[in-house]
């Protein structure tokens, strides 16, 4: 079916549509790269390709028909070229033409393998600072007796902390420790002074689960007992710690009360979330309490079998979750317990 010498627009359209159908079929069905090349020469070849005839025929058309025919020509040409490229790509992929040898020097794609929890990171960092000062790590049981948790720590027998509302009892005399301070007593029963220990661990309280409280949380207990230890040592050591851990952040001591220390002090650091301006995390005060401390009460030393005339010392208990909040700018403590990897990924080192 040849194009007439002087085609009408209708002739031109009929013939070029026919050519398009044939060409698309030949290119699209080409069984291999050789067949594809043959189809290309047949339809798109620039010496004898079938499309050439239509390019030439444009000149023979009536003047008014030329724009329309030209558009048709261009459309068909683009369709055929696209079909050629697509089939070449398919055949090339199948033949492995794009497969390059593996580059063994390429860096591997990173794979998320999990990470330490932010509270664990903080505990490790704190332990490293105190290790340099000669502290070793000591551990104690989470299921504790009333005596270790309260009695030996100089809590009066009717202290409200022992109430069922605050303490989780497993059995009559077995409770989940409400703080890490019983490790002080257990350590002093086993080791003679000088003693310098750090005791990280989980503690439990019957508490609401809100932005600043959790029913289970980590604590780190510290204890230093020797001859001639004074409040100066406490303040200097904890001040050193604050500076090492928080850098330039301001820290302050406030008088406080605990049954197992006398005198007692709490240490605050300037809230790192609002830099002292006041925010929900610091309850608008601009300060965040990070630890309780004090000179170990002679009654505690005596309960543990230590001569309180000869030895003195100081202790502290701090909240690593609070500290992690400050370190990582986390307003709500609950995210530490959600195990949401999107959160953990942000902090992971
Ligand atoms: N055990 C206290 C608590 O859980 C914290 C604490 C305060 C521990 C003063 C200490 C200390 O060793 O000296 O709130």
- Give the Å distance between the CA of 291 and the centre of ligand 1: 7
Q: Is the same domain home to 92 and 126?
A: no
In a domain? residue 249: yes
- Give the Å distance between the CA of 317 and the centre of ligand 1: 4
Model pTM greater than 0.75? no
In a domain? residue 38: yes
Residue 182: CB within 6 Å of ligand 1?
A: no
Q: What is the pLDDT of residue 209?
A: 76
DSSP letter assigned to residue 118: H
Q: Is the same domain home to 122 and 210?
A: yes
DSSP letter assigned to residue 282: G
Q: What is the pLDDT of residue 164?
A: 65
**Residue located via tokens 């609002």:** 274
Q: What is the pLDDT of residue 197?
A: 98
- Give the Å distance between the CA of 319 and the centre of ligand 1: 10
Q: How far is CA 6 from CA 55, 57, 62, 67, 337, in A?
A: 13, 8, 9, 16, 84
Please say whether the beta carbons of 178 and 190 come within 8 A. no
In a domain? residue 201: yes
Per-residue tokens: 330: 């986390």
Q: Is the same domain home to 152 and 298?
A: yes
Q: What is the pLDDT of residue 165?
A: 63
Q: Is the same domain home to 172 and 297?
A: yes
In a domain? residue 287: yes
Q: Is the same domain home to 57 and 147?
A: no
Q: Is the same domain home to 280 and 228?
A: yes
Q: Is the same domain home to 158 and 60?
A: no
In a domain? residue 1: no
Which residue among 316, 318, 319, 323 has the greatest number of ligand 1 atoms within 8 angstroms of its CB, and so is best to mutate? 316
Q: Is the same domain home to 123 and 188?
A: yes
- Give the Å distance between the CA of 343 and the centre of ligand 1: 30
The tens place of each residue's pLDDT in the chain, 349 residues long, gives 578 888 899 999 999 999 999 999 999 999 998 999 999 999 999 888 999 999 989 988 889 999 999 999 999 999 999 999 999 998 888 777 666 777 888 888 888 777 889 999 999 999 999 999 999 999 999 999 999 999 999 998 888 877 766 899 999 889 999 999 999 999 999 999 999 999 999 999 987 777 778 899 999 999 999 999 999 999 999 999 999 999 878 899 999 999 999 999 999 999 988 998 999 888 899 999 999 999 999 999 999 999 999 999 999 999 999 899 888 988 888 889 888 888 888 887 6
Q: Is the same domain home to 244 and 287?
A: yes
Domain end marker among 96, 129, 158: 96
Q: Is the same domain home to 312 and 233?
A: yes
Q: Is the same domain home to 133 and 255?
A: yes
- Give the Å distance between the CA of 221 and the centre of ligand 1: 7
Closest ligand 1 atom to residue 219 Cα is 4
Please say whether the beta carbons of 33 and 95 come within 8 A. yes
Q: Is the same domain home to 277 and 131?
A: yes
Which amino acid residue places its CA nearest to atom 3 of ligand 1?
Answer: 179
In a domain? residue 204: yes
- Give the Å distance between the CA of 275 and the centre of ligand 1: 26
In a domain? residue 3: no
**Residue located via tokens 């020509």:** 73
Instruction: Write the CATH number for 307.
Output: 3.30.930.10
Residue 293: CB within 6 Å of ligand 1?
A: yes
Q: What is the pLDDT of residue 98?
A: 65
Domain end marker among 96, 129, 155: 96
- What is the number of structural domains in the chain? 2
The range of the structural domain enclosing residue 81 comes to 9-96
């Amino acid at each position: 079916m040849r194009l007439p010498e002087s085609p009408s627009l209708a002739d031109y359209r009929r013939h070029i549509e026919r050519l398009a159908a044939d060409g698309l079929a030949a290119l699209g069905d080409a069984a291999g790269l050789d067949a594809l090349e043959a189809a290309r020469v047949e339809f798109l070849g620039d010496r004898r390709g079938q499309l050439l005839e239509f390019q030439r025929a444009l000149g023979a058309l009536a003047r008014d028909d030329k724009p329309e025919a030209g558009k048709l020509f261009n459309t068909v040409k683009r369709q055929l070229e696209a079909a050629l490229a697509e089939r070449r790509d398919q055949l090339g992929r199948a033949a492995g033409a794009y497969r390059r040898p593996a580059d063994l020097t390429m860096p591997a794609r990173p794979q998320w393998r999990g990470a330490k929890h932010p509270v664990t990171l903080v505990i490790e960092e704190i332990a490293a600072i105190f290790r340099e000062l000669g502290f070793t790590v000591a551990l104690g049981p989470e299921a504790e007796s009333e005596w270790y948790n309260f009695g030996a720590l100089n809590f009066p027998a009717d202290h409200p902390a022992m109430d069922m509302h605050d303490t989780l009892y497993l059995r009559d005399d077995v409770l989940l420790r409400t703080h890490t301070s019983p490790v002080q007593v257990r350590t002093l029963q086993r080791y003679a002074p000088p003693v310098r220990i750090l005791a990280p661990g989980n503690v439990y309280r019957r508490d609401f689960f809100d932005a600043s409280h959790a029913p289970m949380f980590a604590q780190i207990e510290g204890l230093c007992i020797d001859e001639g230890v004074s409040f100066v040592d406490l303040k200097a050591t904890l001040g050193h710690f604050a500076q090492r851990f928080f850098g330039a952040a301001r820290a302050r001591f406030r008088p406080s009360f605990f049954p197992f220390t006398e005198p007692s002090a709490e240490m605050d650091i300037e809230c790192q979330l609002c830099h002292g301006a006041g925010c929900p995390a610091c309850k608008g005060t601009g300060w965040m309490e990070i630890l309780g401390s004090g000179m170990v009460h002679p009654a505690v030393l005596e309960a543990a079998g230590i001569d309180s005339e000869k030895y003195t010392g100081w202790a502290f208990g701090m909240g690593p979750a609070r500290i992690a909040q400050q370190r990582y700018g986390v307003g709500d403590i609950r995210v530490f317990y959600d195990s949401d990897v999107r959160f953990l990924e942000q902090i992971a080192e």
